[in-house]
């Protein structure tokens, strides 16, 4: 996961036959979406926090510091406050310019079903619901 995010240098680990840019480097000047942020191991959360504070990182196995300008958007279906209490998510990572957008599950928003059917082709008529 660290290699996917930060990239790696050739020879950094078994199977690293070439240098590889990570998602952060590839997203330079743009936005990177991280889904299920609560699943990231705490050891990687530390490195992600450092990147967010400094806007720079090193590839796995590298010594060169790489600076990028990336907006990071993350999502999870977990309660991050609870994850912090249970020591599975870093509080300092959660507090960095974060705001929560709570979207109830569709089963609690049945009035949205017809609208969603009208914009997503399903092969079914919304009249049958």
Q: CATH number of the domain that 38 lies in?
A: 3.40.50.300
In a domain, 109, yes or no: no
Tell me which of 125 and 43 has the higher pLDDT. 43
Q: pLDDT tier at 101 (50, 70, 90 boundaries)?
A: confident
In a domain, 120, yes or no: no
Quote the pLDDT of residue 116: 87
In a domain, 23, yes or no: yes
pLDDT tens string 71-80: 999 988 898 8
In a domain, 16, yes or no: yes
Quote the pLDDT of residue 66: 96
The residue-averaged pLDDT of 24-28 equals 96
- Which contacts (CB < 8 Å, 24+ apart) does range 91-95 have? 92/49, 93/45, 93/48, 93/49, 93/52
For residues 37 and 75, the answer to whether their CB atoms sit within 8 Å is yes
Domain count, the chain: 1
In a domain, 111, yes or no: no
The residue-averaged pLDDT of 37-57 equals 93
In a domain, 54, yes or no: yes
Q: pLDDT tier at 122 (50, 70, 90 boundaries)?
A: low
Tell me which of 49 and 100 has the higher pLDDT. 49
Quote the pLDDT of residue 100: 75
The residue-averaged pLDDT of 106-124 equals 83
With b for 16 or more beta-carbon neighbours within 10 A and e for fewer, the 59-86 pattern comes to bbebeeebebebebebeeeeebeebbee
Quote the domain boundaries for residue 33: 2-104
């Amino acid at each position: 996961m660290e290699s996917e995010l930060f990239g790696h240098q050739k020879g950094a680990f078994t199977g690293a036959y070439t240098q590889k840019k990570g998602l952060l480097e590839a997203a330079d000047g743009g936005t990177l979406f991280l889904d299920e942020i609560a699943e990231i191991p705490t050891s990687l959360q530390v490195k992600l926090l450092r990147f967010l504070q400094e806007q720079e990182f090193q590839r796995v196995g590298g010594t060169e510091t790489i600076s990028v300008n990336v907006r990071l958007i993350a999502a999870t279906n977990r309660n991050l406050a609870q994850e912090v209490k249970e020591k599975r998510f870093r509080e300092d990572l959660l507090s960095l310019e974060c705001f929560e957008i709570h979207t109830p599950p569709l089963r609690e928003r049945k009035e949205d079903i017809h609208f969603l059917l009208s914009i997503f082709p399903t092969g079914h008529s919304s009249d049958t619901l």
